[in-house]
Amino acid sequence: MNEAGVVIVGAGQAGFSAASKLRSLGYQGSITMFGNEGQYPYQRPPLSKSYLLNEMPLERLYLRPASFYEEQSISMRMDVEVTKILPETQHVLTTSGEYPYTNLILATGATPRRLPRSLGGHLEGTYTIRNIGDIDTISPEFVAGRKLVIVGGGYIGLEVAAVARSLGLDVTLIEAEDRILKRVAAQETSAFFSSYHRSKGVDLRENTKIKGVVGKDRVSGIQLSDGSILAADFVVFGVGVSANTELAEAAGLKTDTGVATDAYGRCSKANIWAAGDCASLPFDGEQIRIESVGNAIDQAELVAQNIMGAGLEYNVKPWFWSDQYDVKLQICGLNTGFDRVESRITSETSQSFWYYRAEQLIAVDAINDPRAYMTAKRLIESGKSADPKIVCDPASNLKELFAVS
């Protein structure tokens, strides 16, 4: 009979963070973590960058070595699928049996969207990028001179484009909206990256829609909405992700864009919690999902603290980053509801864009400008704003913002 304790569904960043935090807080009960990749918890951000470039070995992706889980008495079930949650009896059903729980943490992550089968999304040579297996499968396609078509101008699509161009591939990136990054960034940030990718040889086509994938068994091209066909040796879809909510929905938990939680990380049924990319949380009067490493860590650690009785509400402090070519984009805050953007241009490749709602600074995109990022992060996390006159003057010392904010 398995011992009732904390059961964690998902062996990614959030699941790992919850388990390790529980042990560091002195939790003595059993911890069982279920994953379906056959891998110990690992970092995802390097997958579309240094791991795809073969600059980072597999061992460096792992958050901790296998010995850590033995030392911490964290039972890893890395090839076991949780098939059902039974909230009434506090059990989960799995492909290796039934497990009781005192607390259940859902850290099930998200799944990349792709075209339906009717539009050719099943053809060989079409890929999404989310896990180690995806990269290991797609890596042999990255050969200089081959034609890659990327569908979607979000961060994943842009990072893959940067890797492919650095390896000498012929890259076309298609974005249905009138600009890349439209869902997540202001016009100013979009314009910088559009220009930069074009300068590196990417055929970037904004405001371009597709009809489907062309090919019999393997992709040979992408058909655009105007009927024209782009030749492709392979295709990568980077059109966002959907939260993995199926288990929660079947168990009768409240869901929206993700598994709905309150400010404490609790779900709608007793002793069930959620964290990471699968979870939606309250922010500024609405439920949102935050897809970032920082959120996965912070939210999961909060859940662990609250399981231990802390009674803490989540103080959201979002931060993100993206590496493309020799450009590092660092983002702090959430730009939801911004009404203006102030620009600080210190050089052609070092810029930052400061988002305001009314007079309040709410987010910053810093491009090759770590000083602007760190300054803005401190201001936003302390609830302070920033004088636009100082922000916009590239000769100003950003330390002045602390004196006047």
Give me the domain span that covers residue 32. Answer: 5-111+242-307
Strands in 350-357's sheet, in edge-to-edge order, are 319-324, 327-333, 360-367, 350-357, 340-347
Helix orientation angle between 187-199 and 155-166, rounded to the nearest 10 degrees: 20
Last residue of a domain, one of 207, 237, 267: 237
Question: Rounded to the nearest 5°, which phi and psi values hold at 242?
Answer: -120, 135
The per-residue pLDDT for range 312-357, each reduced to its tens digit, is 999 988 999 999 999 999 999 999 999 999 999 999 999 999 999 9
> Distance between CA atoms of 148 and 150, rounded to whole angstroms?
6
Tell me, yes or no, whether 316 lies in a domain.
Answer: no
335 part of a folded domain? yes
Residue 1 has pLDDT above 60, yes or no: no
Asked if residue 229 and residue 126 are part of one domain, the reply reads: yes
Cα Rg, the chain, nearest whole Å: 22
Q: Based on the domain organization, do 216 and 262 belong to the same domain?
A: no
**Among candidates 290, 287, 301, 283, which has minimal Cα distance to 254?**
287
Buried b (16+ CB within 10 A) or exposed e, 348-362: eebbbbbbbbeeebb
Does residue 315 sit within a domain?
Answer: no
Residues 12 and 85 in one domain: yes
137 and 48 in a common domain? no
Distance CA 115, CA 112 (A): 10
Do 19 and 82 have their domain in common? yes
Task: Identify whether the C-beta of residue 379 lies closer than 8 Å to the C-beta of residue 385.
Answer: yes
Q: What is the pLDDT of residues 360-394, one digit of tens each?
A: 999 999 999 999 999 999 999 999 999 999 999 99
Contact 127, 134 (CB under 8 A): yes
Same domain, 43 and 128: no
Q: What is the pLDDT of residues 260-315, one digit of tens each?
A: 999 999 999 999 999 999 999 999 889 999 999 999 999 999 999 999 999 999 99
Return the CATH number at 336. Answer: 3.30.390.30
* pLDDT band at residue 119 under the 50/70/90 scheme: confident
Q: Encoding tokens for residue 38? A: 């056959």
pLDDT the model gives residue 402 = 82
Q: Helices 293-307 and 13-24 meet at what angle, rounded to 10?
A: 40
In a domain, 318, yes or no: no
Strands 126-127 and 286-288: unpaired
96, pLDDT greater than 60:
yes
In a domain, 346, yes or no: yes
Residue-wise pLDDT tens digits, 5-30: 999 999 999 999 999 999 999 999 99
Same-domain pairing of 213 and 198 = yes
Kindly state whether residues 252 and 212 are assigned to the same domain. Answer: no
Last residue of a domain, one of 185, 220, 237: 237
Please give the angle made by the CA atoms of 68, 72 and 75, to the nearest 5 degrees: 90
Are residues 251 and 103 both part of a single domain?
yes
pLDDT band of residue 121 (cuts 50, 70, 90) is confident
Q: Please name the residues in contact with 284: beta carbons below 8 A apart, sequence gap of 6 or more.
A: 336, 337
pLDDT band of residue 115 (cuts 50, 70, 90) is confident
- HEC secondary structure over 132-181: HHHHHHHHHHCCCCCEEEEECCCHHHHHHHHHHHHCCCEEEEECCCCCCC
